[in-house]
Amino acid sequence: MSAQPVSGRRRGWCPGVRRPMATGDGLLVRLSPFGGRLSADQARLIADAAREHGNGHLDITARGNLQIRGVSDGTYPDLLALLDREGLAEPEGDGPNRLTVLSPLARLDPNDRFDPYTLAQAIESKTAALDGLPAKFFVAIDGGGSMPLDSVGADLHLVAGKDGSVVFGLPSSGGLDRIGVASFADALDAAHAVLSNFASLRRSGRTEARRLRDLEPYLVQELAASAALEPAAALPSRPPAPRAGVIPVDKGYAVLLALPFGRSGTEQLAQAAAWCERFGTAEIRLSFTRGILLAGVPGKDVPMLLDEAGRAGFVTDADDPRLSLIACPGRPDCASASTPAPADALRIAGSCSDLLADGTTVHVSGCPKGCAHAGRADLTLVGRTDGRYDVVPHGSTRDISTLHLSIDEIMTCLLPAKTRDSLHRAFPERVR
């Protein structure tokens, strides 16, 4: 059993279990379980494997995947054999390792207007043999409940309309652009039509776009027509998904635990496995908010779980200022990084606690890919090859910036800013 590590600089690839990616701290092996769900036994096995075959660091990604870091050429074959044997390796082939992303509350959320889990299963099953979908392609399936998926930046978003219909949307800088709506009964066929016709456009050479959002508008209209989508009304507005806290659900409570920068140690994953057996449903759910959700926790056990999780280094409170700061692994862990994103983020945390406590979101990215956060933040810093940052107030890593500053210069600008509203004075020439 062997696999060719993929260079972190090669475009269009996604690392997986069968295709590890060579990066700054060794090989990166990414697991993509359906719905982000892992049994307690699987989570423990992965924690043990990361300790034995990697450097003990794990990441939860902004799609709810789990990455084992620091694997070596020598340890990789045994890790692959183990994960394959346990059914944790993705299917063979060049398509997406996992096509769908769900809220970790799927099938628990009393506010969902359709069952996103069932629709996701059906879409994955129907499109499994589809040839021509790019490896990075994914679909967010959002039942309309308490954890909106708007920020994940999927190729295609399927979101519950007011009446339980399924609105099809593409991400844009202003939110989701609605391309049409189908009834829930027709949503599977409509989604399949959009995906298969996009793959067909690529196979025929009519487009080279790898993401739906990069398609010419007339081709998007063609896809919507091929799926018989009707014009869609506006979606109900919802507050952004919480990143930590206790959420009442159909049976008991869901406890969402956040990890600073999405980084977990093997002990933390093993502890989460133990907690879900002790307090919940013997299953953990990896969240696109870069944390872990434990479901089915009885109310009487919530305080004890929160206490233990806090002492184990998890963030348990949605108002914790650490949640305002987002960073990717950066240099030296990521070979594509131009800047030490987590270290620079911690400098900001150390000196700008008032700003973060006021809820100002700051995203520090080692390069323009924006792995840690696809959406907008109050302040986005994008690592440049010259070691400085592109400074993007009220935007995302995809926005163009004309302000390029070193982290020292950024700190000087930020220090007087104490509140979110005062951020406009820190970088006045770029604030819209």
Residues that bind ligand SF4 (CB under 6 A): 328-330, 334, 336-337, 365-367, 369-371
Q: Which CB, 42 or 338, lies closer to ligand SF4?
A: 338
Burial class (CB in 10 A: 0-12, 13-18, 19+), 11: exposed
Q: Decide whether 347 or 424 has the Cβ nearer to ligand SF4.
A: 347
For the CB of residue 398, give the shortest distance to ligand SF4 in the complex, in Å. Answer: 12
Q: Which residue is nearest to ligand SF4 (CB)?
A: 366
Residue closer to ligand SF4 by CB (options 2, 385) is 385
Alpha helices in 247-371 (DSSP H): 266-279, 302-311, 341-351, 353-357
Distance in angstroms between the alpha carbons of the first and the last residue of the chain = 54
Question: For ligand SF4, which is the closer residue by CB, 107 or 369?
Answer: 369
- Amino acid identity at 328: C
Query: Residue 96 or residue 330: which is nearer to ligand SF4 going by CB?
Result: 330
3-state secondary structure of 308: helix
Q: Name the minimum Å distance from CB 141 to ligand SF4.
A: 24
CB of 5 to ligand SF4, least distance (A): 15
Find the shortest distance in angstroms from Cβ 368 to ligand SF4: 7
Q: Report helix, strand or coil for 52.
A: helix
List, in order, residues 6 or more apart from 298 with CB less than 8 Å away: 252, 253, 279
The token pair at 174 is 């202003």
Helix, strand, coil % over all residues of the chain, rounded to 5:
30, 25, 45
Residue 366 C-beta: closest distance to ligand SF4, Å: 3
Strand order in the sheet with 291-297: 37-39, 283-287, 291-297, 253-258, 245-248
Choose between 64 and 366: whose C-beta lies nearer to ligand SF4: 366
- The CB-of-175 to ligand SF4 minimum distance in angstroms stands at 22
